[in-house]
Amino acid sequence: MDVLQLDLAERSYPIMVGQDLLAQTSHLLDQFSSRPFVIISNETVAPLYANLLSDQLANSELYFYHIPDGEQYKTLNTYQDIITFLLENNIARDAVLLALGGGVVGDIVGFVAATYQRGIDFIQVPTTLLSQVDSSVGGKTAVNHPLGKNMIGAFYQPKAVIIDTNTLDTLPRHQYAAGLAEVVKYGLIYDVEFFRFLESNRQAILNRDKQVLSTVIHRCCSIKASIVAEDEKESGLRAILNLGHTFGHAIEAEMGYGNWLHGEAVAVGIVQACHIALLKGRITQSELNRVVELLAFFNLPTKGPQEMNFVTYMKHMAKDKKVMAKQIRFIIPSTFGSVEITTDVTEDELQTVLG
């Protein structure tokens, strides 16, 4: 097991990465053993792992709640359903919420934890590649609004993140691919050597080789932990983690949450951001081609929905959380392996890229 530490003074916490960690939960969470646990999962993940987790925590007071599976359920209604369950069961502030699932479960449970009785502890147990390399780390919690993704939420850090790579064995192919979009993102924003590692090990990654995956997950979490430690609430540097997300969130909102997976939309957004960088002379055509080829190899889309054009993208991007003084801030490559945050993207450039 590898253990990373996200350093945020009194809000610091460990990120544990390894195989068979769910079978070691009682040991890993020993410091919480005297407290009640509320395991919140979804109807897909719960049958796979909830019993293993409950067996490990059998000496604790346990409660279970399952939500429907899918991005379309990442809503205030689902949030309220969980709050109602907690109130009906007289869950007090000494309880620990345990988010067992992918990014949707983690985001909702984190938001519940941030707001229930003004804040209670929670632990992330991510079971998808996307949540393991990205959303479970850093304390971003939220639900969606019909007009925008993650528009209702809070920054609220977990007490620990437990990443069991064995859970990737049961992940459907398209869900696994969606996580790889965020993996590629880390190479482009921060570490060109990591991008080269992904290119060199693409087949092993596609084959879910455990040793290679552990290296990948560890590196992604390490990059994110260092960025979040420097800028917890996204006042500056942390915004670079949103490469591809401004365009990707527009796709999700326009096409309907759940119709395009988050990672699929982000993959397209990464290509679009790189295309803008090409138009500005920041990267070469060869470098753009490498990005497209790697994403395509990982079974990810590289072109947006035919139903969308410049007008539909702009309708949603105008509501993006990175908008400041009514200007959209874009994250685009400044060189291959690093990015910049800029408002200097022209309408002509956007029309060229978005159609």
Q: Which two tokens stand for residue 113?
A: 């934890």
Contact between 52 and 21 (Cβ < 8 Å): no
The end-to-end CA distance of the chain, in Å, is 47
- pLDDT of 322 > 80? The answer is no
Q: What phi, psi does 19 have (nearest 5°)?
A: -90, 150
Residue 148 pLDDT level (bands cut at 50, 70, 90): confident
What is the Cα–Cα distance from 155 to 140, expressed in whole angstroms?
5
Complete domains list, the chain, with CATH = 2-170 (3.40.50.1970), 173-208+234-354 (1.20.1090.10)
Residue owning tokens 């029309």: 351
Over residues 31-45, the mean pLDDT reads 96
Contacts of 247 (CB under 8 A, 6+ apart): 265, 268, 269, 272, 273, 304, 313, 317, 354
What is the Cα–Cα distance from 52 to 72, expressed in whole angstroms?
27
Q: What phi, psi does 93 have (nearest 5°)?
A: -70, -10
* Residue 152: other Cβ atoms inside 10 A: 15
Residue 325 pLDDT level (bands cut at 50, 70, 90): low
pLDDT at 324: 62
Q: What phi, psi does 174 have (nearest 5°)?
A: -70, -30
Query: Average model confidence (pLDDT) for the chain?
Result: 95
Which residue type, as a one-letter code, is found at position 161? V
What predicted TM-score, i.e. pTM, was given to this entire model? Answer: 0.93
Residue 236 pLDDT level (bands cut at 50, 70, 90): confident
Over residues 145-170, the mean pLDDT reads 95
Is residue 58 classed exposed, middle or buried when 0-12, 13-18 and 19+ CB atoms within 10 A define those classes?
exposed
Strands 148-155, 140-145: pairing is antiparallel
Q: How many CA atoms lie within 13 A of 81 on its CB side?
A: 12
Contact between 337 and 278 (Cβ < 8 Å): no
Positions annotated as catalytic residues are: 118, 140, 182, 224, 234, 238, 242, 245, 249, 262
Tens-place pLDDT, residues 91-134: 999 999 999 999 999 999 999 999 999 999 999 999 999 999 99
What is the Cα–Cα distance from 162 to 178, expressed in whole angstroms?
20
- pLDDT of 39 > 60? The answer is yes
